[in-house]
Amino acid sequence: PTQSFFSQPLPIPGVKAPKYTFTNPQTGGPIDYYELEIKPFQRKQYPNLAKSARMVGYDGQFPGPTIDIEQGRESVVRYINNGDRPASTHLHGSYSRAPFDGYADDHIDVGQYKDYYYPNQQNARTLWYHDHVVDHTAENVYFGMAGLYLLHDQHERDLALPTGKYDIPLLIMARQYNSDGTLWDPEKNDEDTSIYGDVVEVNGQPWPNLKVEPRKYRFRLLDGGISRTFKLFLNADQKNNQRVPFYVIGSDCGLLAQSVVTDLVTISIAERWDVVIDFSQFAGQNVTLRNDHEEVNPDTEYLGTDRVMRFIVGTTVSDSSNNGAVPVQLRDVPFPPQDQSVNTRHFEFGRGGSNWVINGIGWHDTADRLLAAPQRGSIEIWELENGGGGWSHPIHVHLVDFQVISRTGSDRSVLPYESAAQQDVVWLGPGETVRVIARFSPWPGLYMFHCHNLIHEDHEMLAEFNVTQVAD
């Protein structure tokens, strides 16, 4: 489709207000109650093409409304399904109790709703809610079922990082459109490997621009797409393409131990990296967020997939608060000690016939798909091996925060911002084996782990683990 780059402003999803607040009868504390309705909407993505694209999103928008909440304040969210097919919503990044975790087989049929309880006791972090229903997660997310959920805490506020209008989520998703302006449909086209997409969207807008002030901003980067991994860098267009640094301050699981300065951030599906960008040197110029063409498969690159969005830097700062130096020490991260690991498990992510499997098992092998039963509270090392074929797999383990402790088998070592982070998704590149360490807590129960290339997930690269309660 034709659309000039960087011509339209970045949409920023609005913050959802709770419908009301009630009292937790056990603790006396407040619980915020929200309602989100999954419903279809139309968006004319390409004004010069005949048709609008029909999408389905939370409250009829994409991204869905942002939920903004303080650590320690509980919430209940009612997801009302007035979409096209069964849905199941997962709050990615939350240690939700199993019945509220968006289990793939927990269908909420069209016309029904379910109330989900979230404890919100974790440290500040960038979470996102998205569909997780069995076999159809990719289409549901691709057509718009995703939104942000931001958890804040006092420790983070004390660091005086950019906040308010200087703290902006950037949900990146690559899509593809038909020549009439409608969205290309992966399901109707029987897509069973990947959707790389040739149109790079941020918050639902292809290649947007954002007017910024010459000061520091915090951006919450999320790759909310289906299959495409981005290698992001920043070009100052009028300074000989000079690269502008990112200060990486946060990951999937909140603040890093230390901020890490880098000029390249690799972000795979479902990963979040929070970065600070300082535009103060670029008043009156453009800074462009770009994608390094370094994918394994050259046929995944198109005209335009080398760029993401443009920051148009103004000349005046309207508010200079929270604009100081980015602190080096950010948080005392509770990394699980490696010498306390009681078990090492090995999982291979590979091809199984026309499906995708974990240790040879797919989700529909219902009798065998329970692949691990760590004891509640125990620390384990999980070795995640890419079974080959040139594919990459972003692997997500529900419930826990983990640390990446090694990468072997490719030229890439653990990235500096990875080693300062806890994560809940890790990118498993071609030929790699990655070891992660996690404490399996706080709750017992049945949880999922899977590839977050959503086409792989829908083609069975999804399994279960059961956190077991230790007998007294």
Residue ranges in contact with ligand C2O by CB under 6 A? 90, 92, 130, 132, 270, 396, 398, 448, 450, 452
Closest distance between Cu ion and the C-beta of residue 395, in Å?
Answer: 8
456 contacts Cu ion (rule: CB under 5 A)? yes
* β-pair type (307-313, 286-291): antiparallel
Q: In the set 393, 407, 450, 459, which binds Cu ion (CB under 5 A)?
A: 393
Give me the DSSP letters along 402-429. EEEEEEESSS----HHHHT--BSEEEE-
Considering beta carbons, is residue 3 or 423 the nearer one to ligand C2O? 423
Closest distance between ligand C2O and the C-beta of residue 452, in Å?
Answer: 6
Considering beta carbons, is residue 132 or 369 the nearer one to ligand C2O? 132
216 contacts Cu ion (rule: CB under 5 A)? no
136 binds, among ligand C2O, Cu ion, none (CB under 5 to 8 A by kind): none
451 binds, among ligand C2O, Cu ion, none (CB under 5 to 8 A by kind): Cu ion
Q: How many residues does the chain have?
A: 472
CA angle 194, 136, 270 (to 5 degrees): 60
Closest distance between Cu ion and the C-beta of residue 242, in Å?
Answer: 36
Closest distance between ligand C2O and the C-beta of residue 448, in Å?
Answer: 5
Considering beta carbons, is residue 161 or 270 the nearer one to ligand C2O? 270
Closest distance between ligand C2O and the C-beta of residue 89, in Å?
Answer: 10
CB of 15 within 8 A of CB of 56? no
d(CA 14, CA 68): 10
Residue 44: what are its φ and ψ, rounded to 5°?
A: -85, 90
CB of 52 within 8 A of CB of 45? yes
Considering beta carbons, is residue 269 or 313 the nearer one to ligand C2O? 269
Considering beta carbons, is residue 16 or 130 the nearer one to ligand C2O? 130
Of 310, 40, 308, the closest CA to residue 174 belongs to: 308
Torsion from C-alpha of 422, 426, 432, 438, nearest 10 degrees: 50
Closest distance between Cu ion and the C-beta of residue 451, in Å?
Answer: 3
Question: Which single residue brings its beta carbon nearest to ligand C2O?
Answer: 92
User: Max Cα separation, the chain?
Assistant: 67
Considering beta carbons, is residue 138 or 437 the nearer one to ligand C2O? 138
96 contacts Cu ion (rule: CB under 5 A)? no
393 binds, among Cu ion, ligand C2O, none (CB under 5 to 8 A by kind): Cu ion
426 binds, among Cu ion, ligand C2O, none (CB under 5 to 8 A by kind): none
d(CA 198, CA 195): 9
Of 20, 147, 94, 13, the closest CA to residue 442 belongs to: 94
Closest distance between Cu ion and the C-beta of residue 353, in Å?
Answer: 15
Residue 256: what are its φ and ψ, rounded to 5°?
A: -75, 170
456 binds, among Cu ion, ligand C2O, none (CB under 5 to 8 A by kind): Cu ion
Q: In the set 451, 454, 463, 467, which binds Cu ion (CB under 5 A)?
A: 451
310 contacts Cu ion (rule: CB under 5 A)? no
453 binds, among Cu ion, ligand C2O, none (CB under 5 to 8 A by kind): Cu ion
Residue 320: what are its φ and ψ, rounded to 5°?
A: -105, 15
Q: Quick one: which segment of 57-65, 208-216, 335-343, 447-455 binds Cu ion (CB under 5 A)?
A: 447-455
459 contacts Cu ion (rule: CB under 5 A)? no
- Token output for 201: 């969207």
d(CA 424, CA 422): 7
Q: List the beta strands (DSSP E) in 44-121.
A: 53-58, 64-70, 74-81, 89-92, 113-118
Q: Which H/E stretch holds residue 38?
A: strand 30-43
CB of 126 within 8 A of CB of 274? yes
Q: Quick one: which segment of 185-193, 220-228, 380-388, 446-454 binds Cu ion (CB under 5 A)?
A: 446-454
Q: Using CB under 5 A, list all residues that contact Cu ion.
A: 393, 451, 453, 456
